[in-house]
Amino acid sequence: MSTLTKPSTVLPEYIITLDETISFARKNFKSLSYIDKAIDIITNIGIEKRHLVLPIELISRHSGFGYRNTVFNIEAKKLIPKAIEEALQNADLSSKEINAIIYVSCTGFSMPSLTAWMINHFNFPRDTVQIPIAQMGCAAGGTAINRAQDFIAAHPGSNVLIVSCEFCSLSYQPTDTSISSLLIDGLFGDAVTAAVVTSENTSSGLKFTSNSSYLVPDSESWISYDIEDTGFHFRLDKRVPGAMLSLAPIMENFAKTQEWEIDKLDFYIIHAGGPRILENIAKTINVPLDKFKYSFETLMNCGNISSSVVLDTYRRMCEDITSEKNKRGIIAGFGPGVTTEMNLVTTC
């Protein structure tokens, strides 16, 4: 049986607060007739601050996709090492004991994958399996956790390092003035997270019970990128929050496979795509909204950090309480497709 150990989170140094976001929007988009509406929605999301890899003044000067992708790779190599070092320390493992690296990101590109750089930089074993995942978006945190469980099931005794690197701010498009684009600009933030899934016996962590994936029918255009000369233009359909309503029976049936009741779990590690998503899920699975407190804490303090959300949410849970053993919970990530990646877990 495999276990998810305490994750690490590394945030870039530049911070933009809600007030600064609003001031920036009023200054740069004051001629738009719907700017007040967009600002009202951004304000109601409840994000207090977000972290950025560059100051907002530089991000708002679009210097081309190539420049931004170069920034992505430079900043990733600055922040990833600290996240990996802390994740290995949390798992009480050395780099020599890692057998596979699952690296997820939807906000930058390189070939070879940054997994090759990680192996060289940390002197991981030469036969470390590289598993880069680039197109699962916000769901990729859950995807990485599930694929780590599957890898250990196929390779007993192994340990898997997960690294999520998401610099969503580098997809900011200053000439894209649709209301949906403005809302996205006020929602997403930057972060690097890492965690180890181990086959070793541990005194703390989340033991995996079962994992599952589900694709909402005919929803592949609801969360997507338009890839243009200026880079990634993120598109989010207004139907996405409502799609969460259809996932309630999926989560319920998944819990039943282990004879668990979805509304009776002890904790919920849920992707914080936005407050409406969390509210709709809580309502449809019939649990109090405060059960999602760690997801809300990630959203308020970091914004939507894409695939890093579920790992940061679990980190906050680890740091807030000393969990009793054998408490039951679920990890659920949501992203393009619309896809959900779920895992039933117990504390150890």
> Residues with catalytic annotation?
138
Distance CA 178, CA 321 (A): 42
Pick the closest to residue 281 from 256, 328, 244, 246 (CA basis): 244
Q: Are 332 and 340 in contact (CB under 8 A)?
A: yes
Q: Are 237 and 274 in contact (CB under 8 A)?
A: no
Distance CA 152, CA 198 (A): 8
